[in-house]
């Protein structure tokens, strides 16, 4: 993770501002021979793009991706495949509504990156948040689509588990439901609650936070590299880099602080393909290495700072101002975070897989099995 | 963050196992000319070392550090200073109690890294947890001592804010108190509560989790490098890499999910040295860049897996076993995590400072001031 | 240097194949506030682009660059400046002559990357050399144009000093001359010699190698970071990464092997701004750190493998074939290497400067001056 | 390659000064399960250590290595093996002859890193060259010993091919001979020439440069990662980082500049395990990827700057001084460079192998064979 690049063997570099001509990413280190077309990427971008319901920004972006390099259609292989060279993907910005940025150009929205970018760089592209805009996350989703190609056998899904003060009941979890409501909600009883609540937030010109849970099933044991490349450490860094995220937890997470050792220990029994665990407080990671259980992470998103109620602030000249944000915006940025969290999970896992394969050959040692070394 | 190294310009590589001859670190990229002696490092190691109270492991380690390179005593400069070359520090292991590791050698403790290391590597140093032991954190603390030398004007302190189900009241926060009790507790009313609670846990041979808060005051605006080198992202990765940590949050953290945009916005007013903020829900970081407010992070630690009550598990041969941990151990590993959290905060900030200075010259732009460029 | 990215604080990622839709680069870590327009980049690309004389490939590419991110036109600053965010630049491929790649698609040209890419990846974009084409160097030149903006006061120039067996005489060196002949030749007496020689090579459908010298003047003392980030080590890696380069030397280079210590020592005398050196066998670098003298490197390029005379080879099916390359090609790829060598020198120096500023504050200590620390 | 660390998956960090208490390295990313003892490392260190003949420095160092971490003696595996965790190795400095450093402490030897370190850092450990001493290369050799464990089937050897003006004749090359003379000379007719020549240099208190050739046989096709992680680019950076090296070339190297395309093309014929090449001008690398041929590199070393004849220089106060170096030193540092060059070749190849295995699974595609993907 350094500036605008993350990953080690599977590396993603993103670029672009909200109101510039385009944004995109370069995915480097992808294995060769994977089937990859623009459609394979587009399907994931379509899940992220705004404009789908009244609960997200009304900015209309087709978010059509172009793959500019790193793939090749070879008649003999029967389809377009990755070549092992960098995959450059570009998404043009289409709906940069022309308007006067006068106030935003010189004022700092409280709770927004405006001031921090100014303090660091002295110059900032204030149009639509510039580089700090959530539009950057489209590039992550495109990279995640490539990562998924590497992760055969791994299923990565995200759901919202809390909006404002309203939490779902995990006992009612239904993954299929997340695809049928605009909230990525897995709890049927929470859908109408969130709908009513968010309508109120939206009409008040207010905003509210959320918690997203992202789960990767089918991850074999052995991925992740202690001590400073721990799988959970990489995940924490990757998820915290998503706009508006203020907290990340793995497995039991903060709740683990209140558990005893007896409660927290995920007991093991012999199994055919590694141990069978009685619970998953670890969230699929022990000592920074995957255990074969589902990898479970949650991320907390703050409410967006773009609200109608005026807030006290300052401008570039150092004067006190009152600021309120007009125009389209998201009442709950968490609604668009689920596909992004999935993409970051996919990128981190793909990188962990390749690194594990590099160091060890890629297998796992199972209790009772004869160890084989690559 | 990659394997056993973290940082970009200020880079720390740690090595060593719990029961090997020694452990240590190499700190690379340190600026030259900083006064640094072994005593400067030892003072921080002494805060971390076990054996200080009945609530931590009774392993007795002097944890005496030796600086093997990277410093030079020049008569003309009047003291030992860093030279800009790598600083190698070593701590010998003295109290590796000789014992029969028979069971531990082939069994996997539930909730411990035992199984994960076996699955990944096929071979593991099972003595005292090997590389996954919390002894590795001594090397982090040594590195943190160097980082603090770079951070003139920055004060970094940590406290425990929760042990098991018992949380402190932030309204009673007293930093001085943290130095006078074995719990790093800042709340006078919570000290006796925790003491009684932990005595019970200890006598039961059980363990419990905790939450640590670490705060850096005096960090100027402008540190941190979006998008994937965000200050909060780097912190999340660094803190999550500490043994037993299962969650990290910045500022309001998970509580931000339940806030509205109006509540969450830290309003700004004109100030002499950057804006004055009305609150610090952001935890000192916006858009991944420091704002000049205190940088505030919290980390949740799970209970240690070393408990007396037998748990079901498996052994290397794939057989079911019952396992219980005898011998010295920590009822709450959180008690030793505060100095480690401080050290990681220090390392991340020192690295962020050097990178910021590299890209921009090191200053910050303040509203109303004439921008100066380096 | 890793896969398709190089640099540490000033980082360049390139992408694109010879006959894909486009190629480009992402430049990350650039300081903010530098004036940068597409024209600033285009002027350097125009120096590199083919089609300028009968001695280079007749492929006609406008090589028009678009800057897609990382710059901002702020009315108040009076011009377009860098913002500190990643600068994405794209060059569309226009002149991919449609043709039948039948033979090239399945045969490996001796001395070409064809076979190596196949052996590694199993699939390769064979059109025009794909990723291994010299077209990739356009992206390096674009990045170098940004690097030059950072290097105020540094002049970077390259010249050819040898083509085939014909070497220039350094005593006749004239930098101005390099701009007035198609060979980047600094020696007036060698221009007609090379012209006649290359006409013969070209008409024979043959090719020949060359040596390029690149010199950076105005580099202050103190840049470069021992031991594995030595300035000369970084330069060697960067220059060796250019297509067709088989050797790199600094200062006296291979000739130093035949020198005595007395001959090789660049003596020093007191000067106003650091020592005055009697010679520059070191090529401006001692111990991996710049000395204030001009940084001098030379790179040897092999002849291109695209020649008319048939050569024995194999095809993908493992059969023996005879192969000869028809169509446009370069009789001496060295003719196009000078601007690329300059660009790589610029990128390495810009990165070294930013890293030096990060670790030390950016200054240099001069004998006799009172040391000042940043 | 960054500061004191090099490599990507197989990463080496070195530390230590010439006259400090010790020096060493941390090798990270090593595969688990490789047999590794201190003796395995010592054998290579013994080849490098000074004191072996009258042609190298008379400093007497046992260079006894201790392995402090990363290996484990497991009764069940029948020997000490790597565990996948960082391998810390330390060599104590024993023979730091106590003496008055008065002049060296404040004067800069021409052609030495003295001045450059001062200019960069303002402070330097002047004792024995401090960090810039060739003693650092012992750590490289230790790391190389680990790298060789990974490279089963690969043979890495180095020889001197030139000392001063005297070059060997490749037609007389005898690898066995290199082990029987103090010059690593493969040419029986050159041994007496070099002996007489170096005796003269030594008696005159002078010094002279050399050229070393290092060859790796048994490297399969497919290693190396274009564009900026090319195998030859990595080698160039690694070899140029060795003390006193001023030039690096691969295969035909600088001589390739004078070749025609017809001469340079290494023709291919069908073979059982990849093509059979008619020559090896490429030095085993095409497009930055190994071809299956021997990887051949040469490095030019300058003469050491420690000579008896006085040279003009300056001191820290900026005054003109005359400087001559008394005491033990090497008349030709190239004599000790062969084992170091071998070690760097080994480290670069081990890293390339692990990265190749990470991205692709580790195999190679051979013409005529059915491609298998990992």
The answer to whether residue B69 neighbours chain D at the CB level (below 8 Å) is: yes
What phi-psi label fits residue A15: left (phi over 0), alpha (psi between -120 and 50 degrees) or beta? Answer: beta
Which region among A196-210, B284-298, C187-201, C320-334 has the lowest average model confidence (pLDDT)?
Answer: C320-334
**What three-state secondary structure class fits A328?**
coil
Q: Which residues 314-353 in chain A show a CB within 8 A of chain B?
A: 314-320, 334
Distances (CA, A) of C40 to C64, C67, C339, D86: 12, 11, 15, 47
User: Residues of D with CB below 8 A from A359's CB?
Assistant: 9, 29-32, 84, 354, 358
Tell me: is residue B54 an annotated ligand-binding position: yes
Question: Is A123–C33 a contact, with Cβ atoms under 8 angstroms apart?
Answer: yes
Q: Residue B306: phi, psi to the nearest 5?
A: -85, 95
Nearest to C26 among A26, A66, A69 (CB): A26
CATH top-level class of D5-360: alpha beta
Q: How many other C-beta atoms are found inside a 10 Å radius of the C-beta of residue D309?
A: 14
pTM of the complete model beyond 0.95: yes
Label residues D128-143 b or e (16+ Cβ within 10 Å = b). bbbbbbbbbbbbbbbb
CA–CA separation, A107 and A310 (whole Å): 13
Least confident of A88-97, B291-300, D10-19, D245-254: A88-97
CA C135 to chain centre: 12
User: What is the DSSP-derived secondary structure letter of residue B85?
Assistant: S
Q: Which of A121, A39, A226 is nearest to B134 (CA)?
A: A226
Mean pLDDT of C12-28: 97
Inter-chain residue contact C358 with B361, CB threshold 8 Å: no
Predicted confidence band of residue A92 (pLDDT cuts 50, 70, 90): very high
A373 vs D contacts (CB less than 8 Å): 33
Cα D204 to Cα B128, C79, D109, D195, D307: the distances in Å are: 59, 63, 18, 14, 9
Q: Please give the Cα distance from C102 to C315 (Å, whole number).
A: 12
What's the pLDDT tens digit per position in C219-259?
999 999 999 999 999 999 999 999 999 999 999 999 999 99
Find residues 283-312 of chain B whose CB sits inside 8 Å of chain A: 283, 285-292, 300-307, 309, 311-312
What residue spans define the domains of chain B? 5-360
Cα(B59)–Cα(B97) distance, integer angstroms? 9
Give the span between the Cα atoms of D14 and D24, in whole angstroms: 6
Average pLDDT, chain D: 93
- Per-residue pLDDT, C373: 45
Q: In terms of Cα–Cα distance, which of C46, C153, C138, C131 is closest to C92?
A: C138
**List of chain D residues whose C-beta atoms are within 8 Å of the C-beta of residue A355:** 9, 358
Chain D closest-CA separation from residue C84 CA (Å)? 22
Average pLDDT over residues C159-183: 97
Q: How far is B192 from chain C, CA to nearest CA, in Å?
A: 46
Return mean pLDDT, chain A. Answer: 93
Cα separation of the two ends of chain B: 29
Does position A373 have pLDDT exceeding 80, yes or no?
A: no
Residue C246 assigned as binding residue:
no
Determine the pLDDT at residue A38.
Answer: 98
What mean pLDDT value characterizes chain B? 93
Q: Which of C223, C287, C359 to mutate against chain B (most B CBs within 10 Å)?
A: C359
pLDDT at A9 over 90: yes
Q: In this predicted model, what pLDDT tens digit does every residue of A249-294 receive, in sequence order?
A: 999 999 999 999 999 999 999 998 889 999 999 999 999 999 999 9
CB contact under 8 A, B111 and A282: yes
Gap between the Cα atoms of B304 and B281, Å rounded: 31
Task: Residue window 111-150, chain A: list those with CB within 8 Å of chain C.
Answer: 120-125, 130-131
Taking the C-alpha atoms of residue D340 and residue C208, their distance in angstroms, rounded to an integer, is 34
Percent of chain B as helix, strand, coil, to the nearest 5: 30, 25, 45
Residue B265: which of A111, A235, A364 has the nearest Cβ? A111
Which residue in the set A247, A268, A369 is minimally distant from B249, CB to CB? Answer: A247
- What was the pLDDT predicted at C374? 41
**D149 contacts D40 by C-beta, under 8 angstroms:** yes
Confidence of residue D327 (pLDDT cuts 50, 70, 90): low
Is the distance from CB of A118 to CB of A112 less than 8 angstroms? no
Helices (H) then strands (E): counts for chain B? 8, 18
Q: Which 3 state secondary structure label does DSSP give B295?
A: strand
How far is Cα D248 from Cα A103, in angstroms, rounded to an integer?
Answer: 58
A84 touches chain D (CB under 8 A): yes
Contacting partners of chain A (3+ CB pairs under 8 A): B, C, D
Cα–Cα distance measured from residue D249 to residue B119, given in angstroms and rounded to the nearest whole number = 43
Going by C-alpha positions, the residue among C258, C366, C249 that lies closest to residue C299 is C249
- Ligand-binding annotation for C305, yes or no, is yes
Q: Helix, strand, or coil here: C57?
A: coil
Instruction: Please give the pLDDT value at position A59.
Output: 67
Query: B205: cis peptide before it, omega within 30°?
Result: no
The residue with greater pLDDT, D77 or B43, is: B43
Is residue A48 pLDDT above 90, yes or no? no
Q: Is C154 within 8 Å of chain A by CB? A: no
Q: For residue B108, give Cα distances in angstroms to B18, B123, B367, D71.
A: 17, 13, 58, 20
Report, as an integer, the average pLDDT of B320-327: 85
* pLDDT(D373) > 50: no
Please, which pLDDT band fits residue B373 given cuts at 50, 70 and 90? very low
Chain A residues within 8 A of D355 when measuring between CB atoms:
9, 358
pLDDT: which is higher, D100 or C279: C279
Q: Give the separation between CA C294 and CA C284, rounded to whole angstroms.
A: 5
Nearest to B9 among C85, C359, C373 (CB): C359
Q: Average pLDDT, stretch D274-300?
A: 97
CA geometry: angle C274, D121, D314, nearest 5 deg:
35
How many C-beta atoms surround the C-beta of residue C43 within 10 A? Answer: 10
Question: What whole-number percentage of chain D has pLDDT above 90?
Answer: 82
The answer to whether the CB of A40 falls within 8 A of the CB of A145 is yes
> Among all residues of chain A, which has the CA nearest to that of C118?
A83
The pLDDT assigned to C103 comes to 80
Which residues touch D229 (CB under 8 Å, ≥6 apart)?
Answer: C1, C2, C3, C4, D8, D288, D355
Q: Are strands B289-290 and A87-92 parallel, antiparallel or unpaired?
A: unpaired
Asked whether the bond before C227 is cis by omega within 30 degrees of 0, the reply is yes
For C63-129, give the DSSP string: --EEE-SSEEEEGGGTEEEE-SS-EEEEEE---------HHHHHB--TTSTHHHHHHHHS----GGG
- Mean pLDDT over D117-137 rounds to 93
In the structure, what pLDDT confidence band is assigned to residue D191 with cuts at 50, 70 and 90? very high
B361 interface with C at CB cutoff 8 Å? yes
CA dist., res. C93 & res. C23, Å (int): 7
Query: What's the pLDDT band for A77 if we cut at 50, 70, 90?
Result: low
| Region of residue B302 (phi > 0: left; psi between -120 and 50: alpha; otherwise: beta) | beta
């Amino acid at each position: 993770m350094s500036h605008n690049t993350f990953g080690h063997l599977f590396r993603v570099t993103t670029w672009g501002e909200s109101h510039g001509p385009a944004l995109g990413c370069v995915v480097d280190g992808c294995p060769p021979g994977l089937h990859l077309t623009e459609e394979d990427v587009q399907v994931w971008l379509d899940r992220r793009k705004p404009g789908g319901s009244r609960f997200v920004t009304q900015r209309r972006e087709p978010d059509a991706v172009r793959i500019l390099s790193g793939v090749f259609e070879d008649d003999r292989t029967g389809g377009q495949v990755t070549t092992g060279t960098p995959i450059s993907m570009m998404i043009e910005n289409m709906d940069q509504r022309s308007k006067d940025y006068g106030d935003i150009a010189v004022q700092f929205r409280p709770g927004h990156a405006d001031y921090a970018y100014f303090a660091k760089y002295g110059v900032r592209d204030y149009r639509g948040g510039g580089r700090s805009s959530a539009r950057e996350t489209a590039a992550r989703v495109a990279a995640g689509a490539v990562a998924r190609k590497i992760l055969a056998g791994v299923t990565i899904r995200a759901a919202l588990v809390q909006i404002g003060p309203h939490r779902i009941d995990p006992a009612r979890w239904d993954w299929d439901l997340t695809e049928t409501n605009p909230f990525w909600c897995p709890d049927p009883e929470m859908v109408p609650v969130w709908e009513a609540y968010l309508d109120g937030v939206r009409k008040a010109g207010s905003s509210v936070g959320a918690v997203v849970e992202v789960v990767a099933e089918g991850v074999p044991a052995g991925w992740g590299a202690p001590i400073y490349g721990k799988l959970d450490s990489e995940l924490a860094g990757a998820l915290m880099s998503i706009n508006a995220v203020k907290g990340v937890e793995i497995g039991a997470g903060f709740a683990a602080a209140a558990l005893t050792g007896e409660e927290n220990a995920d007991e093991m029994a012999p199994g055919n393909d590694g141990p069978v665990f009685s619970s998953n407080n670890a969230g699929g990671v022990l000592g920074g290495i995957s255990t074969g259980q589902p990898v479970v992470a949650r991320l907390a998103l703050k409410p967006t700072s773009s609200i109608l109620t005026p807030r006290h602030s300052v401008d570039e000249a150092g004067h006190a101002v009152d600021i309120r944000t007009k125009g389209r915006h998201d009442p709950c940025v968490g609604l668009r975070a689920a596909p992004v969290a999935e993409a970051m999970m996919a990128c981190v896992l793909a990188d962990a897989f390749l690194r594990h394969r590099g160091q060890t050959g890629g297998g796992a040692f199972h209790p009772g099995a004869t160890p084989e070394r690559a």
